[in-house]
Amino acid sequence: MQNDRLTSASERGPSGPRSRRPLPPWVSTTALLLPTYGWLTLAVFLPLLTMFVFSFMSATPMGKAPIIFTLKQYRAFIDQPYLVGIGITSLLIGFWTTLFCAVLGFLAAVALVRSTFGKTREMLLILILLPFWTNGLVRVFSWTMVLRENGFLDSLLHMIAPDAGSIGFLYTRYAVVVGLVHGYLPYMILTCYIALVAIDDAIIEAASSLGARWWTILFKILMPLAAPGLISGAVLIFIPVIGSFMEPRILGGRVGVTMGTVIEDQFTQAFNWPLGASLSFTLLAVVLAIFATFSGVLRRGTVA
């Protein structure tokens, strides 16, 4: 009996009942990340893996043709050289769209951070997010009313100069870039805004008190400190833009043939899923190679 009491007392310890051993940190971390990564696995990784397997097939698996695993689909750029020109066009459209978004988005974010406060800033942020509240197809079709011949731009010009010709440029690559910039500009504004709002005002005040001009502050202080926002915005814009198909098809017409429209046609019209999948992964590999190259340049610039 006495031994039982001693054993019980030793288990309780001087400060009461013995506390349970805490779980390892990786258990709680895994429990927190499991729902997110589980959803990503079901909604993103598994479909991508399925399309990757399709890209090595000789025919669409839902058809009656025999399935043979081959690398033939990845030779499309060699067997069909016109795809190289389409790919270069898509990359150029992505480059110009990202460049215009970077310039306009950065300047808009600077104005938003440095010139507005309180409710005015909140209202402007809501106006920036407003395009996301409307259907993308409606936004694109609205540009056809603006950019077409005898559209809104022409009507505005003829009010000022009645004898002027048409300045409508619908069904051109310029129209495609305009529509893409309109659709993706909020991404750049928000990422730059988040980077700029974190900059201490004392840095700007110190530069001004030392005689720095506004352009020196803009290019030597604000832009380097906002570089993470610019890079994040560029990634968020460039990757989906080169694969977009709605804006090129509606605003570009016959000249709006991009890799996005070609890939869409392979899935919806030609019913050649293996070729569409191989083109998608080839384009993805090119994009990853471009960003890997520029990330090395940026890293060397930061170290220097």
Mean pLDDT of 147-168: 84
Rounded Cα gap, residues 187 and 236, in angstroms: 7
What is the three-class DSSP state of 57?
Answer: strand
pLDDT digits (tens, 9 = 90+) for 62-106: 777 788 888 888 998 888 889 999 999 999 999 999 999 999 999
Please say whether the beta carbons of 299 and 228 come within 8 A. Answer: no
The predicted model scores a pTM of 0.81
Confidence of residue 133 (pLDDT cuts 50, 70, 90): confident
Q: Is 178 exposed, middle or buried (0-12, 13-18, 19+ CB in 10 A)?
A: buried
Confidence of residue 303 (pLDDT cuts 50, 70, 90): very low
Residue 69 sits at φ, ψ, to 5 deg, of -85, 125
Q: What is the pLDDT at residue 8? A: 52
Q: Which of 156, 163, 167, 140 is nearest to 253 (CA)?
A: 140
Mean pLDDT of 175-196: 92
Give domain limits for the chain.
87-303
pLDDT digits (tens, 9 = 90+) for 213-248: 888 888 888 888 888 889 889 988 998 899 898 999
Third-level CATH fold of 87-303: MetI-like fold (1.10.3720)
Provide the token pair at 14. 């001087």
pLDDT digits (tens, 9 = 90+) for 187-217: 999 999 999 888 888 888 888 888 888 888 8
Mean pLDDT of 272-291: 88
Q: What is the pLDDT at residue 299? A: 56
